[in-house]
Chain A
Amino acid sequence: MEYLPEMHLHNPATVEEAIRLHDAAPASRYLAGGSDLLVNIRRGIEQPDHLVYLNGIAEMHAITDGPDQISIGAAVTLRELAESVLLREHFAAVAQAAGEVAGPSHREYGTLGGNLCLDTRCVFYNQSEWWRAANNYCLKYRGDTCHVAPAGKKCFAAFSGDVAPALLLFDAEVELAGPDGRRRIALMDLYRNDGMDHLTLTSGELMVAVHVPKMPSAIPTGYAKSRVRGSIDFPLAGVAVRMGLQDQLIADLRIGLTGVSPLPFLVRGLETFIGRRPDDACLEEVRDVVRRQAKAMKTTLTPPHYRRRVAGALAQKLAESIF
């Protein structure tokens, strides 16, 4: 029953109006589905005085099939993404990842933009005000100690959106709009490796759409996540894999990870697998590369060791199953 503080709600009809409203009010936040933000407000992690509600902006709801790219409005819901025939055809991993977020009711109103801009999560952060106060808060919010790594000055809260690693497979770009106009950046550049401040959005900037270039030929992709329960849970580790073969040999290999660090990222060093036969030995090596880069910290109740192992295992399984 944790209650919401008093707030002002604004209902812009255009992106430009939304930015103006956001800019005019101090302590304002953009609100789309609310499945993340409203929980955080109820817990006192976020305390905006103004909410700029994006659902009335038509531009942000469209999925557009262009000649070279598919554009997806940031307010498109995760269910719409998961069910989109277009996405399933071109970017299977993205549709799969969207369909794995939380539970079905969450996906009805949770949005693409919300999932990409999801706040980082940590067991010491996603707690009530009473809890965090009793624990002297934490580095990420109002405190000066990271309870995950008390000796350091870095926040390890983990990015836990499912869709980002899948979009990273396809060189997706995000279209941002702010007080200074619009810009397009690589999705990868939306993130930085800092649990406290993991988004590179500038003040008042809003994600309008995601543009995903079409691939010249279909390359198999897929997404899998580890969680204790079969639904609702955030990923302990989420893995997106893209693997294309030519003449039985690996011609294309990308792996995106989520849930194991403050940002989603593409696994590095996979080019060494190009030209190799994807046999058991090869895929075990892929597994080990993923494990080494999945540097999970104690941000969840499930220990980091497991999250590393399972990230590797899921990558191996996906690579085995998608071609």
Chain B
Amino acid sequence: MNKISPIQSIGIPKPLVDGPEKATGKAMFAADFQATDATVGRILRSPVAHANIISIDTSQAEALPGVLAVVTEADCADGYGVLPIAMNEWALARHRVRYRGEPVAAVAAMDVATAQRALDLIDVVYEELPAYFTADEARAEGALDLHDDKPGNIEREVEFDLGDVDAGMAKADLVREVDFHCAEVCQAQMEPHAAFAEYDAARERLTIRPSTQVPFYVHKMLARTMGMSESHIRVIKPHIGGGFGCRTETLQSDLIAGLLARKARGTVKVVLSREETFITHRGRPESHIKMKVGMTKDGTITAVDFTAQQRGGAYSGYGIVTILYAGSLIYGIYDIVSARFQGYRVLTNTPPCGAFRGHGTVKTRFAFENLIDGMATELGLDPFAVRRANLLVAPTMTENDLLVNSYGLDQCLDWVEKASGWKQRKGKLGPNKGLGMACSHYISGASKPKHWTGEPHATIHLRVDWDASITLLTGAAEIGQGSSTVMAQCVAETLGVDMGRIRVIAADSALTPKDNGSYSSRVTFMVGNASIDAAQNLKALLIEAAARKLEIAPEDVECLGEVYRGGQQDQGLTFEEVVMEALKGEGTLAVKGIYDTIPESWGGRKYRGAAIGGTMAFSYAAQVVEVTVDPDTAEITVDKVWVAHDCGKALNPLAVEGQVQGSVWMGLGQAMSEETRFHDGLPLHANMLDYRVPTIVESPPIEVGIIEANDPHGPFGAKEAGEGSLTGFLPALTNAVADAMGVRATALPLTPDRLLELLEKKARDERVSANASGKVA
């Protein structure tokens, strides 16, 4: 009689739970908070690239009417940094500045004009030092060390040599080595950095709303910088206008807001200009990659030998991790039996680089997929066939001990090959048109946390009270990627209840459990699993209560989500009735769920730093890009992209599509128009005109195929969806241009001027060889 069944919440498209706020303007971002007594925080930045600070005189600024606080490094208790082993940055430069734009002092004043006048009154005496704007300059013999403990300006040198690379190369039918150069790029998220800090002077407590992906790290670094007890700080993450990695470490503006608020003993809002946001940087480093691959006639890869040099900027940041990823994730996508890597992360007098979507993997993958595409052409092989000749078989461990439990790359290849009409269309598109393809992968969270404390990776609290609503408390940072939605889905699915019952409260350190933050695509996998765990614990309590009320054994209770009953004939109890029963003698229900990774996923020990790359699961992606090139202007039009992404179970197919499209498109910007260059260390692209984020006009249709190679450990089988498909676009583009025009780009971005140079060089070479062979027309 009763057709009631648990309500399905996963695997169906779900608009984001916080979507209405964004569509109505009600979503509050850091700069949107207002208070009548709020003062304006503004930062004095170094005009020089490298100098000792001889003195800072703030007395005139302090004396200016309307100025409430002036802070310098003297107000900082300690330095900070995202990696415990490399904390060499200060909120405000200490004794030395190392890049143009580095914060030196800051003021809080009643209005912006007064704040600027105060900055103009601060007298800083610099003693200039030689500055290095490229990795080669910084590594040159005799170069001054930026940091005393980093000789030769090497942040980290990474080496591994696994399997027998020389034997592998000897076995190959074709060995090719190519140099690749990729420009530095920046996240350029739409929201400039901002923080709203309130200091409760009576209690000596700080509440701050920073634009961050990692409220927990900001919390820790505020305590460290301000010399405050962590228990006296509350970090509330507001809505975040994108991050893409630049906010996965504490930024100076977060710390400066805290320092100013305390000194002003009130409320301070720090909102950076777009230029300052670019200077804060934390983007992807300029990289030089030398890639050598051995391949047999059937396309089997016999060995990989590669080096990478990254211009890291002036401070450590994530640098060590970035250069380690650049090496370790050569593995995990194909069956690579032997590989040798040498990587250098170099310190330079430019703004610090950081973790950008696809962290560390993008440029290595670009080089690799570009090179093997060219080798396929030389060997007369189809690019798809080359990939298929090197597939992994899951479950497996890679040569560098990365766990691969699920693997949908083969299905991704099948999907894009078919959807793009590759077999029928490749080589038949006519002049100046081409198709290119490439593959990529990414981790679903780093299995070993940076701060090893013995705590689980993720914790979720669920609270249920007399109103029968479920409050999900999470520390995970919703930054637009849909994390709050996916958690609500996981809980709703596990309980079988309507998602409308669930209210998500995210990332308020006074209310929500700790979470490491939104980076390395960890949230769906780790926090999703913790959400399921919490919901299962809650469900057990509810089943027990239902059993009590129905006077049956718990194992006889049939949980239908909104109804709990003893059997078909039983009218059952509503969810509300079950909750009321559960509250008896117990009060408000508060349950917890946790998630931890398994040791097999922690990466290897075969070389120093081999843990970086270790993950519970990899996502996989393949894409085909179709281009038309104007041979006269060298303008490239991307006509269409087909991309297949293996994210395991697609918990929210709508959000997966959105993430994959956004990733591919971000790869497009990096491949075609975006770059960050410097003039003597001054950023030449520090605005939204010169940093060319693609507009809607030239952005192509992107057709997404979702491949579900479920992972046994993923939440309902899910894996990451937000990063893996960025990388493949870069080589797929250059491969498509090679197909269209017969020139292979090895430097990015492939702007029209760079492509024109390649086309002109090809024309010259053809004339020369025509002349040489006497075939002059």
Contact = CB atoms under 8 A, between A and B. Distances in A.
Contacts of B751: 228, 302
Interface in B686-708: 686, 689-690, 692, 694-698
Nearest to B681: A134
Interface stretch (A1-9, A58-66, A182-190, A207-215): A1-9
A269 interface: no
Contact of A133 (B47, B273, B683, B692): B47
Contact of A314 (B101, B633, B673, B753): B633
A128 B275 contact: yes
Contact of A232 (B113, B686, B689): B689
Contact of A130 (B45, B272, B690): B45
Contact of A1 (B48, B272, B682, B683): B272
Nearest to A135: B682
A305 to B, nearest CB: 7
B29 to A, nearest CB: 13
Interface in B563-613: none
Contact of A231 (B272, B679, B695, B752): B695
Contact of A134 (B47, B273, B694): B47
B694 A229 contact: yes
A226 interface: yes
A43 B683 CA distance: 15
Contact of A103 (B113, B695, B753): B695
B112 interface: yes
Nearest to B680: A135
Given A301-B677, A316-B632, A134 B756 contact: no
Interface string A132-157: 01110000000000010000000000
A306 B682 CA distance: 24
A305 B632 CA distance: 14
B697 A230 contact: yes
A131 interface: yes
A256 to B, nearest CB: 18
Contacts of B100: 134
Interface string A216-248: 000000000010111111100000000000000
Contact of A310 (B683, B694, B698, B752): B752
Given A233-B692, A301-B677, A130 B633 contact: no
A306 B753 contact: yes
B697 A303 contact: no
Contacts of B271: 1
A229 B690 contact: no
A301 B690 contact: yes
Measured as residues with beta carbon below 8 angstroms from the partner, the interface class of chain B is 35 or more
A135 B681 CA distance: 10
B684 interface: yes
B275 A131 contact: yes
B673 A228 contact: yes
B47 A302 contact: no
B282 interface: no
B273 A229 contact: no
B192 interface: yes
B685 interface: yes
Nearest to A136: B47
A141 to B, nearest CB: 16
Contact of B752 (A126, A131, A232, A306): A306
Given A231-B695, A232-B689, A134 B48 contact: yes
Interface footprint category on A:
35 or more
Contacts of A233: 689, 692
Nearest to B273: A1
A277 interface: no
Given A123-B690, A231-B697, A302-B753, A310 B633 contact: yes
A61 B169 CA distance: 73
Given A303-B753, A310-B752, A131 B695 contact: no
B710 to A, nearest CB: 40
Interface string B257-275: 0000000000000011101
A231 B275 CA distance: 21
B633 A313 contact: yes
Nearest to B192: A1
A309 B695 contact: no
A124 interface: yes
A317 interface: yes
B160 to A, nearest CB: 37
Contacts of A3: 112-113, 116
Interface in A1-45: 1-3, 5-6
B441 to A, nearest CB: 30
A25 to B, nearest CB: 21
Contact of A230 (B47, B48, B698, B757): B698
Given A130-B47, A301-B690, A147 B679 contact: yes
Nearest to A302: B753
Contacts of B634: 306
B43 to A, nearest CB: 10
Interface string B103-147: 000000000110010000000000000000000000000000000
A234 B690 CA distance: 10
Contacts of A313: 632-633
B104 to A, nearest CB: 12
A249 to B, nearest CB: 24
Contacts of B685: 301
A127 B684 CA distance: 9
Nearest to B698: A230
A5 B113 contact: yes
A255 to B, nearest CB: 16
A231 B685 CA distance: 17
B47 to A, nearest CB: 4
A301 B684 contact: yes
A229 B692 contact: yes
B196 to A, nearest CB: 14
Contacts of B689: 126, 232-234
Contacts of B113: 3, 5-6
B677 A306 contact: no
Contacts of B635: 226
B698 A123 contact: no
B415 to A, nearest CB: 29
Nearest to A6: B113
B577 to A, nearest CB: 54
Contacts of A231: 695-697
Contacts of A228: 673, 692, 751-752
Interface string B742-771: 000000000111001100000000000000
Nearest to B749: A228
A317 B635 CA distance: 13
Interface of A: 1-3, 5-6, 103, 123-124, 126-128, 130-131, 133-135, 147, 226, 228-234, 301-303, 305-306, 309-310, 313-314, 316-317
23 contacts: A1-B273, A2-B273, A3-B116, A6-B113, A123-B679, A123-B684, A128-B686, A130-B101, A130-B275, A134-B100, A134-B682, A135-B680, A147-B679, A228-B752, A229-B695, A229-B698, A230-B695, A231-B695, A231-B697, A302-B752, A302-B753, A305-B753, A310-B633
Query: 7 shortest A-B CB distances, which residue pairs?
Result: A230-B697, A306-B753, A134-B47, A313-B632, A230-B698, A231-B695, A231-B697
Given A1-B112, A301-B684, 17 more contacts: A3-B113, A3-B116, A123-B684, A130-B45, A130-B101, A131-B686, A134-B48, A135-B679, A135-B682, A226-B633, A230-B697, A234-B689, A305-B753, A306-B752, A306-B756, A309-B756, A314-B633
